[in-house]
Amino acid sequence: MATLFEKIIAGDLPADIVYRDEEVVAFRDINPAAPVHVLIVPVKPIPTANDIEEADAALIGRLFVVARRIAADEGIAEDGYRLIINCNEHGGQEVFHLHLHLLGGRPLGGMVKRT
């Protein structure tokens, strides 16, 4: 069954798309955790970070190149931002189609709660 993000990439579900090329699509998170919250998604449906293969190295690199471009376009590059990939249950992953979160537009504070 197609993931939510495959449906967005195919245009079957609406999204605020900010970038698209043959390999990568980026759109605004529906429930933003910061003033800028963009999800950068490979068109190839890799479920989790555990499923990244050697052959995906260039594609994964492209996610970061696109993130850098969007950060500049959104005007948050100089102040700074955070890039996150959540993996599986402990990482808090909800959508099993690999994606890079670009978060910024305010100070983001500490990374994780220390327990």
Catalytic residue numbers?
A: 99
Strand partners, 102: 38, 83
**Regarding beta strands 36-42 and 100-104, do their DSSP bridges make them parallel or antiparallel, or are they unpaired?**
antiparallel
Residue number with CB closer to ligand 5GP (61 or 92): 92
Which stretches of the chain bind ligand 5GP, using CB under 6 A?
Answer: 4, 15, 27-31, 39, 86, 92-95
Residue number with CB closer to ligand 5GP (30 or 57): 30
Amino acid at 15: A
CB of 11 to ligand 5GP, least distance (A): 13
The rounded distance, in Å, linking the Cα atoms of 71 and 76 is 5
Residue number with CB closer to ligand 5GP (31 or 115): 31
* C-alpha gyration radius of the chain: 14
The rounded distance, in Å, linking the Cα atoms of 15 and 77 is 23
